[in-house]
Amino acid sequence: MKRFFFVCVSILLFAGSLYAQTSTAAVGKQSVTVDFAVTMRDLAVAAKTQDDRAIPTNRAIILDGDIGTIIVHEDTATSFVAEVELLNGIWVDETQVELYRTYIICEGLQFRSLFDSQSPSRLKSGQTVMVLATYEGLGMDYDGKTPVPVVQALSIRRIY
Question: Across-strand partners of 133?
Answer: 61, 153
From start to end of the chain, where are the E strands?
22-27, 30-35, 60-75, 80-91, 97-107, 128-140, 147-159
- Which tens digit of pLDDT belongs to each residue from 109-126? 999 999 998 888 899 999
- Which tens digit of pLDDT belongs to each residue from 50-101? 999 999 999 999 999 999 999 999 999 999 999 999 999 988 888 899 999 9
What is the domain partition of the chain in residue ranges? 24-159
Q: What is the pLDDT of residue 28?
A: 55
The three-point CA angle 91-97-101 to 5° equals: 110
Q: Is the pLDDT of residue 131 over 50?
A: yes
* Mean pLDDT, rounded, of the chain: 84
Spell out a b/e string for 49-72, using b for 16 or more CB atoms within 10 Å of the CB, else e: eeebeebbeebbbbbebebeebee
Q: What is the pLDDT of residue 8?
A: 38
What is the CATH number that goes with domain 24-159? 2.40.50.140
